[in-house]
Structures are given as structure tokens and as C-alpha cells.
Chains A and B, each alone.
Chain A
């Protein structure tokens, strides 16, 4: 018997670990990895609420939690593809992937 709060706590911990990665890492690829961790945490919450609430609700379409989780998955894939393409493009021009070096718009 696993209470819903266990899932929510694990997801919250994963989300804030990812948030710390986004805040504190220097490398753009590491920041993207932090974003992926945060998206995974959101997916755990979606599936947990689906299992505890939606699946026993006769008015909801049966796998609605799954559908949203798959949408998050597709957005994560698109985000990773565009993000990594941007990183490779920036690396070609500036020879660096450290985000602190990318201060062109400040000057």
C-alpha cells in the first residue's frame, strides 16, 4: 500500500534537484539535463494522480493521465532536439558551451 504522498514527495524532490541543476550548472547541456529531470517529475505526478483519482472516475476518458504524460514526453523530445541543435550551433560560433560565456546581448 503506497500512499499518494510518497509519489508526490519523490516527484517534488526530483523536480527541485532538476531545478538546482538548471540554476547552478555552467554547461548548457547540463542545464538541459536538469530540465529533463523536471519534466520527468511532472510525469510522475500526472501518472500518480491518474492512478489514484482519474482511473476510478467514470466520467473521465480512461487513460487521460497517460495521454498527458505522452504529450509531455513529446514536448521533452522536441525541447531536447532544439536545445541540443542550439548548443551545437553556439559551439560552432563561440567555441564554448558554458552559458556564462554567452553574453553577446549584454554588450
Chain B
């Protein structure tokens, strides 16, 4: 099958998925290679947007909204603030990579090839060829069911409480760590 016939055989859902995937992967490549950290953070936001598009093709609209709010709205902005308050991080002169970039590249490519071979061998069967049909009522009721499962002791009540305490402790710890103290002399610190 030529590339052109492959393109014309795509359904609209597949086109949306491929566009979202290209946005996600392309922006992720910019994130890990760009010299300018601020541009990398903006590409990170684009990558999160592509992941939200992938969620929509998986009928998980609520998670796409949560992705927009939490990742793009909160985490990306937090990273951008951290870049802006630390001086000299936006300089573009020196290499963005450390001395082990060659080994890191090899490990990443080799790992991806191994995982890709496993995926193509075990998940190419008929059972996973298409999304199984689900009653629309199940999908439209999923957000309400999610809320109920968070307070149901037989579902996710305990993990929900644990994750709440983890987030609270992490935020208090972050405030404590980043709290400004008296100026420490770097020369004294070296000794």
C-alpha cells in the first residue's frame, strides 16, 4: 500500500489521533533538545495539549479538561516561574546536554525499540484492533461514577485520602524548602 492510499484510507478519528500524536511527539522533542529553557517550557505546554487531544480520542473528555487545568494551567506555569526567578537559565550559549548524552540517547533508542517490538508482537491481534463499543450512558455517566468511586470505601476512598495527604505534605514541604533564609556566603559554603 502506498503512502497516498494509506492517507486516503484514514478515518477522521485516525486523522485527529495522528495530528495529536505529531503535536505531542514533536513538541516533546523540542522540550528535550532546545537550548532555550523558556522555549522548552512553551513546547512542554504544546506537548500537554497534544496529550489532551489523545485523551479525547479515548472518550476521556474529563481527563482532557483536567489535563488542561492541571498540566497546562498549573504545572507549566510553575515551571515557567522557576525559569524566570533563576537567573542565567535562559542563556543559549552553552550546550544543553551533559557528557552522557550519547549513552543516554543509545539507552532511550534501544529501550524504545525493545518496547515497540513487544507491543507490535503482543498487541497486534484482533481483540485490540479497534476500541470496543461502549453504551453512551456508561461514558456520559463516567464523571459521576468517578466522583462516587473516590468516596466509596470499596473503590478508591483510601488511595484518594493518601494522595490528598501526599499533595498537602508536598506543598507544605515546598513552601518550607523555598522559604527565603538569611543570605549564605557561597565562599563559606564551598569550604
Q: Tell me if chain B binds chain A.
A: yes
The residue on B at minimum CB distance from A71 is: B163
> A44 contacts which chain B residues (CB < 8 A)?
51, 54-55
Q: Within the complex, what minimum Cβ distance (angstroms) separates A5 from chain B?
A: 4
A93 to B189, CA, bound (A): 8
Q: Within the complex, what minimum Cβ distance (angstroms) separates B12 from chain A?
A: 11
A50 to B145, CA, bound (A): 14
> B124 contacts which chain A residues (CB < 8 A)?
3, 5
From B57, B75, B186, A80 is in contact (CB under 8 Å) with B75
- Contact status of A1 and B14, CB under 8 A, knowing A16-B108, A23-B103, A66-B60: yes
Q: Does the CB pair B130–A3 fall under 8 Å?
A: yes
Q: Which parts of A45-61 form the interface with B (CB within 8 Å)?
A: 47-48, 50-52, 55-56, 61
Q: Does the CB pair A10–B167 fall under 8 Å?
A: no
- Contact status of A24 and B32, CB under 8 A, knowing A9-B119, A52-B131: yes
- Contact status of A18 and B28, CB under 8 A, knowing A62-B138, A64-B149, A85-B173: yes
Q: Does the CB pair B173–A63 fall under 8 Å?
A: no
Q: Does the CB pair B63–A70 fall under 8 Å?
A: yes
Q: Does the CB pair B96–A26 fall under 8 Å?
A: yes
> A97 contacts which chain B residues (CB < 8 A)?
86, 89
Q: Does the CB pair A95–B111 fall under 8 Å?
A: no
From A14, A17, A43, A82, B170 is in contact (CB under 8 Å) with A82
- Contact status of A33 and B41, CB under 8 A, knowing A2-B17, A70-B63, A80-B78: yes
Between A34, A61, A66, A99, the greatest number of chain B beta carbons within 10 A of the residue's beta carbon is seen for A66
Q: Is the interface of B mostly helix, strand, loop or mixed?
A: helix
A13 to B27, CA, bound (A): 12
Q: Does the CB pair B173–A33 fall under 8 Å?
A: no
A80 to B134, CA, bound (A): 36
Q: Within the complex, what minimum Cβ distance (angstroms) separates A99 from chain B?
A: 8
A-B pairs with beta carbons under 8 Å apart, 24 shown: A1-B13, A3-B130, A4-B123, A12-B115, A14-B24, A14-B28, A16-B115, A18-B32, A20-B107, A24-B98, A24-B101, A25-B96, A25-B98, A27-B37, A33-B32, A33-B41, A44-B51, A44-B55, A52-B132, A66-B142, A76-B70, A77-B75, A81-B170, A84-B178
> 3 tightest A-B contacts by CB?
A23-B104, A78-B170, A21-B32
- Which B residues are within 8 Å of any A CB, using their own CB? 11, 13-14, 17, 21, 24-25, 28-29, 31-32, 37, 40-41, 44, 47-48, 51, 54-55, 57-60, 62-63, 66-67, 70-71, 74-75, 78-79, 81-83, 85-86, 89, 94-101, 103-105, 107-109, 111-112, 115-116, 119-120, 123-124, 128-132, 134, 138-139, 141-143, 145-146, 149-150, 152, 155-156, 159, 163-164, 166-167, 170-171, 173-175, 177-178, 180, 184, 186, 189
